[in-house]
A = this chain, B = another copy of it.
Amino acid sequence: MNAPLPNHLLLDVAQRETPAALIDALKARFLDRCSTAMVVREQHGRDESSFAAPPPAAVVFAESTLDVADAVKLASHYSVPVIPFGVGTSLEGHLLAVQGGISIDVSRMNRVLRINAEDLTVTVQAGVTRKQLNEEVKSTGLFFPIDPGADATLGGMSATRASGTNAVRYGTMRENVLALEVVTASGEIIRTGTRAKKSSAGYDLTRLMVGSEGTLGVITEVTVKLYPLPEAISAAICSFPSIEAAVRTTIEVIQLGVPIARVELIDHNTVRMVNKHSKLNLREEPMLLMEFHGSPSSVKEQAELVQELASGHGGNAFEWASTPEERTRLWAARHNAYFAAIQSRPGCRAISTDTCVPISRLADCLLDSIAEVDASNIPYFLVGHVGDGNFHFGYLIDPSIPEERRIAEELNHKLVTRALTLEGTCTGEHGVGLHKMDFLVLETGDGAVNMMRTIKRALDPKNIMNPGKIFSL
**A contact residues vs B (CB 8 Å cutoff):** 116, 118-121, 160-163, 167, 171-172, 174-175, 184, 188-205, 207-208, 210-212, 216, 227-228, 251, 254-257, 294-295, 297-298, 301, 354, 356-361, 388-390, 420, 423-432, 436, 439-440, 443-445, 447-449, 451-452, 454-455, 457-459, 470-471
Contacts and interface: CB of A to CB of B under 8 A. Distances in A.
Nearest to A423: B195
A452 B201 contact: no
Contacts of A171: 175, 198
19 contacts: A118-B255, A160-B200, A191-B444, A194-B443, A195-B423, A198-B429, A199-B428, A200-B430, A200-B431, A201-B425, A201-B426, A202-B448, A204-B204, A205-B451, A205-B452, A208-B208, A294-B298, A295-B298, A297-B298
A428 B459 contact: no
Contact of A197 (B210, B359, B430, B436): B359
Nearest to A119: B358
Contact of A196 (B192, B197, B357): B357
Counting from the closest, the 3 A-B pairs by CB-CB distance are A458-B458, A228-B257, A207-B207
A190 B455 contact: no
A440 B210 contact: no
A445 B190 contact: yes
Given A118-B255, A194-B424, A297-B298, 16 more contacts: A161-B200, A189-B447, A191-B445, A194-B420, A194-B423, A194-B443, A196-B358, A196-B424, A198-B428, A199-B428, A200-B211, A202-B432, A203-B208, A203-B452, A228-B256, A454-B458
A471 B201 CA distance: 11
Contact of A204 (B161, B167, B356, B458): B161
A196 B448 contact: no
B174 A204 contact: yes
Contact of A172 (B198, B358, B443): B198
A374 to B, nearest CB: 25
A201 B167 CA distance: 17
Contacts of A301: 295, 297-298
Given A207-B208, A358-B119, A455-B458, A174 B198 contact: yes
A137 to B, nearest CB: 14
A431 B200 CA distance: 5
A190 B447 contact: yes
Contacts of A359: 118-120, 197
A207 B455 CA distance: 14
Contacts of A118: 251, 255, 359-360
Contacts of A390: 196-198
Nearest to A231: B257
Contacts of A254: 120
Contact of A175 (B175, B357, B449, B455): B175
B358 A121 contact: yes
B454 A459 contact: yes
B202 A470 contact: yes
B211 A204 contact: yes
Nearest to A449: B202
A211 B206 CA distance: 12
A421 to B, nearest CB: 11
Nearest to A217: B451
A356 B389 CA distance: 34
B295 A196 contact: no
Contacts of A445: 190-191
Given A198-B428, A301-B295, A458-B455, A205 B389 contact: no
A195 B424 contact: yes
A144 to B, nearest CB: 14
Looking at A175, A200, A431, A455, the one whose CB has the most chain B CB atoms below 10 A away is: A200
B459 A198 contact: no
A165 to B, nearest CB: 13
Contact of A451 (B172, B175, B190, B420): B190
Contacts of A191: 444-445, 447-448
Contacts of A160: 200
A425 B194 contact: yes
A425 B206 CA distance: 14
A447 B184 contact: yes
Contacts of A298: 294-295, 297-298, 301
A237 to B, nearest CB: 24
